[in-house]
Amino acid sequence: MSILREKILHVASDLFQTRGINSTGVDTIVAVAGTTKMTLYKYFHSKENLILEVLQKGHQDFQAWLNGKMSSKKPTEKLQQLFDHIEEWITAPDFRGMAFLKASAEFPNEENAVHRLSAEQSRQFKQYLAGLATDAGAKDPEALALQLSLLIEGAVQAEQMKRGSGAIKYAKKAAKILIEMALKG
């Protein structure tokens, strides 16, 4: 509803990705967003709360974008084409990484709320892959989904570490082999 609320979310998301979460103070966020701490704490009553909302919005936006790309495709081809979309995402100039991967590294304690949300989002992504694997007729959909998630998250990690790594190119080739083996074998 509020424009300032959205602005804060957007700015925080950007700063968290480019500078890290713990290295970004709320003073910086409100300065870039062009507002004050009073407003920030009105909408998000703690920094941890803001972090959680940023993560949730990021995950929702990503899933919505991916779902839009994936619509109206044959089940057997969906898994392959998924990697085309992931490649488009990773190689885009404004790619900044997978938010929940970084967040879980900054909050390693498994009891921490941010870590728990990150783990939940990772689980949901694997579940999404498992759905695609099931539709495609894989023998062991959970196994294939986990293997593909390793390739995707590994490629994202590699690209976070070094832009232009080209990792996704080789992840795609590996995925093709694994998908074929899981469907035929």
Q: Which residues bind DNA (CB under 7 A)?
A: 2-4, 23-28, 34-39, 41-42, 45-48
* 166-170 long-range contacts, CB within 8 A, separation 24+: 168/83, 168/86, 168/87, 168/90, 168/91, 169/87
* 152-157 long-range contacts, CB within 8 A, separation 24+: 152/83, 152/86, 153/98, 153/101, 153/122, 155/86, 155/90, 156/90, 156/97, 156/98, 156/101, 157/98, 157/101
Nearest to DNA of 39, 165 (CB atom): 39
Binding site for a copy of itself (CB under 8 A): 17-20, 22-23, 96-97, 101-102, 104-110, 115, 118-119, 122-123, 143, 146-147, 149-155, 157-158, 160-163, 167, 170-171, 173-174, 177-178, 181
CA distance 61 to 167: 24
CA distance 170 to 90: 13
Smallest distance from the beta carbon of 110 to DNA, in angstroms?
Answer: 20
- Find which of a copy of itself, DNA, none residue 181 binds, CB within 5 to 8 Å per kind: a copy of itself
Nearest to a copy of itself of 70, 143 (CB atom): 143
Nearest to a copy of itself of 39, 165 (CB atom): 165
Smallest distance from the beta carbon of 153 to DNA, in angstroms?
Answer: 27
Helices (H), ranges, the chain: 3-19, 26-33, 37-43, 47-70, 75-91, 99-106, 113-136, 141-161, 167-184
Smallest distance from the beta carbon of 75 to a copy of itself, in angstroms?
Answer: 22
Smallest distance from the beta carbon of 50 to DNA, in angstroms?
Answer: 8
Nearest to a copy of itself of 3, 177 (CB atom): 177
* Residues in the chain, total: 185
- Find which of a copy of itself, DNA, none residue 37 binds, CB within 5 to 8 Å per kind: DNA
Smallest distance from the beta carbon of 150 to a copy of itself, in angstroms?
Answer: 3
